[in-house]
Amino acid sequence: MDVSQTLVFKASFAKMLGLLFLSLGTTVAGFALAWRILPNVRQGSLAEFVGWILMLLGAAATLCSLYRILGPHKLFLTVSPAGFQHSALSSRIISWREVKGLGAWVHRGQEALIVKVDESTWETGGISRITRWTRGVDLKFGIDGLAVRFVGLPIRFDDGARLFEAYARAHGGKVE
């Protein structure tokens, strides 16, 4: 692997469209349960409650998907000798020297590469607001660092993890 190159992975339109349709389907299913359109769903039942939750989460996911497809902030990941930038996590390149460890987090089929960074990285700016806001919750789930997810990008988790490890080792990052 040539770690002197700059690699850019842009969101796959087909994958983002797939996520949009999945979130729309979740919203519609939730709507059908919440408004008791489906047979045998009674008022005040668990099915109705689950419907409301599905409808709200599906609608939020639909809006996020639309924003990623149509908005100005397209999903991308850049990996270079200078560092990495995942558009959902940071508005700047995070230097490999700021990386203090790499790990994996897997929960119910969801995979994330956990990039442990200096405490100063969290404070110096550039880390997205939502990433900073959810840090406390992430810590409760055992996620101590930036959770790099490859969903929607044309790179698999295993390949992304190997890529990060190679670049971090070559350019001054620590790999635990």
pLDDT tens, N- to C-terminus, the chain (176 residues): 899 999 999 988 888 899 999 999 999 999 999 999 999 999 999 999 999 999 999 999 999 889 888 877 788 999 999 999 999 999 999 999 999 999 999 988 889 999 999 999 998 889 999 999 999 999 998 899 999 999 889 999 999 999 999 999 999 999 97
Q: How many domains, in total, are found in the chain?
A: 2
- Residue 3, domain member (yes or no): no
CA-atom Rg of the chain in angstroms = 19
Cα angle: 125, vertex 130, 133; to 5 degrees = 85
Same domain as 103, residue 42: no
Q: Which two tokens stand for residue 137?
A: 């919750």
Q: What are the beta bridge partners of residue 85?
A: 78
Same domain as 162, residue 84: yes
- Residue 85, domain member (yes or no): yes
Same domain as 98, residue 64: no
**Is the dihedral angle over the CA atoms 41, 43, 45, 46 positive or is it negative?**
positive
Q: What are the beta bridge partners of residue 112?
A: 105
What is residue 75's predicted lDDT score, i.e. its pLDDT?
A: 86
Same domain as 141, residue 56: no
- Residue 4, domain member (yes or no): no
Neighbours of 133 (CB within 10 A): 10
| 146 Cβ contact partners less than 8 Å away, ≥ 6 residues apart | 86, 89, 90, 94, 114, 115, 117, 127, 131
What is residue 74's predicted lDDT score, i.e. its pLDDT?
A: 82
- Residue 62, domain member (yes or no): yes
Q: Which two tokens stand for residue 140?
A: 């409760």
Same domain as 44, residue 98: no
Domain encompassing residue 136: 77-170
Same domain as 129, residue 89: yes
Same domain as 166, residue 82: yes
Cα angle: 148, vertex 58, 85; to 5 degrees = 20
Same domain as 129, residue 87: yes
- Residue 135, domain member (yes or no): yes
What is residue 155's predicted lDDT score, i.e. its pLDDT?
A: 94
What is residue 167's predicted lDDT score, i.e. its pLDDT?
A: 98
Same domain as 164, residue 91: yes
- Residue 6, domain member (yes or no): no
pTM value is 0.79
